[in-house]
Amino acid sequence: MGLSSKDLTGLKDLSPEDIGLILETAAGFKDVLGRDIKKVPALRGKTTVTLFYEPSTRTRTSFELAAKRLSTDVINISVSTSSVVKGETLIDTARNVEALGADFIIVRHSSSGIAQFLAKKLKASVINAGDGTNEHPTQALLDLFTIQEKKGRLNGLKVAIVGDILHSRVAKSNIYGLTRLGAEVRLIGPPTLVPGCLKDLGVRIFYDMDKGLQGADIVMMLRIQTERQGKGFFPSAEEYFRNWGLTTARLAAADPDALVMHPGPMNRGVEIASDVADGGRSVILEQVTNGLAVRMAVLYLLSGTKQ
């Protein structure tokens, strides 16, 4: 057993078998996270480097903790402390990190395709922690894991993804993963942020949120970047919330057992009302816990890929 690639750059080209293996392995790691001693010796002696060109607290912390719980040594490099400011190119920085003995390089960058670019050039395992508007595979995997855990399956579930699909790497990775595992994916949002061509991937598109939420088993909200409102994608946060914000009243259209998810950080009152975010159907905090298990599983499995 093992993954078919040394890297995890996205779900676009990940087979259902590989996705299944990651989710299964993550279940084993979730057991570990439930104990008093949450650390295992599996990857003792390995080195993990997080290379973040975009500010991030949650994702970096989650990866760092996952790596530490597998007993790897972790070094965090962020754009403000690295030599990037001195004009060193990305590939030079990455090669330096590799020369220091990094086994795992976890990269986040504002430019799409960076993870794939580094994966091709480096022998170390590259894990994409978000590249531009392309993919954020571990977020989607933890979403899949959470759904699977709560609903017992993915196949045939109606999953509504609501918000800025165009700029969301989380949405992209989820679309690839969910469709590959047989879920019915619906995309909901303003036409300026939901590219119509995604229909070709076998998803349904709704601009009317109430229609899109009908009978949904999962409601996955995306973070709306408020800086988009000046660019004409939508007129104002208020108008956005009126049309596509998740409220208790809106949620009534979904299945009575529908789960509410959000990758964080949330804009309360912009894409989601507080009472929904904190309500009984919200699994938002469990997503965070599951993120650790999934990231441990990814690190563990990549360490076993034959090269």
Q: What is the 8-class DSSP label of residue 282?
A: B
Nearer to another protein, 27 or 75 (CB): 27
Nearer to another protein, 86 or 257 (CB): 86
Number of residues that bind another protein (CB under 8 A): 47
Region 60-99 residues binding another protein, contact defined as CB under 8 A: 70, 89-91
**Residue 299 CA: distances (Å) to CA of 26, 303, 305:** 10, 6, 10
135 binds another protein (CB under 8 A): yes
d(CA 180, CA 177): 5
Torsion sign (Cα): 117, 119, 122, 126:
positive
Binding mask of the shown chain, residues 112 to 131, with x at each position contacting another protein by CB under 8 A: xxx-xx-------------x
- The rounded Cα 307 to chain-centroid distance in angstroms is 26
- Please confirm, yes or no, whether 138 is among the known catalytic residues: no
Q: Which stretch binds another protein (CB under 8 A): 36-44, 144-152, 210-218, 246-254?
A: 36-44
Choose, from 6, 30, 46, 108, the residue flagged as catalytic.
108
According to the 3-state scheme, what is the secondary structure of 123-182? Answer: CCEEEEEEECCCECHHHHHHHHHHHHHHHCCCCCCEEEEECCCCCCHHHHHHHHHHHHCC
Q: Which stretch binds another protein (CB under 8 A): 215-223, 242-250, 251-259, 299-307?
A: 299-307
Asked if 184 and 214 count as a contact pair (C-beta separation under 8 A), the reply is no
Nearer to another protein, 90 or 253 (CB): 90
d(CA 305, CA 288): 26
What are the structure tokens assigned to 224, written together? 């709306």
Compute the least distance from the CB of residue 53 to another protein, in Å: 10
d(CA 297, CA 263): 19
Region 7-26 residues binding another protein, contact defined as CB under 8 A: 12, 24-25
3-state secondary structure of 221: strand
Name which of 37, 40, 48 is nearest 75 in CA terms.
48
59 binds another protein (CB under 8 A): no
Nearer to another protein, 165 or 254 (CB): 165
Nearer to another protein, 99 or 197 (CB): 197
Torsion sign (Cα): 208, 133, 135, 281:
negative
d(CA 260, CA 248): 11
**Residue 281 CA: distances (Å) to CA of 172, 221, 261, 284, 293:** 24, 13, 9, 9, 21
Choose, from 35, 86, 231, 306, the residue flagged as catalytic.
86
Among 77, 97, 209, 297, binds another protein (CB under 8 A): 297
Cis peptide upstream of residue 265 (ω within 30 degrees of 0): yes
Among 6, 60, 108, 109, binds another protein (CB under 8 A): 109
1 binds another protein (CB under 8 A): yes
- Please confirm, yes or no, whether 95 is among the known catalytic residues: no
Nearer to another protein, 112 or 225 (CB): 112
Among 14, 29, 140, 295, binds another protein (CB under 8 A): 29
Compute the least distance from the CB of residue 235 to another protein, in Å: 18
Name the residues that contact another protein, by CB under 8 A: 1-2, 12, 24-25, 27-29, 31-32, 35-37, 39-43, 70, 89-91, 109, 111-114, 116-117, 131-135, 166, 169, 172, 195, 197-198, 200-201, 297, 300-301, 303-304
Q: Which residues are catalytic?
A: 58-59, 86, 108, 136
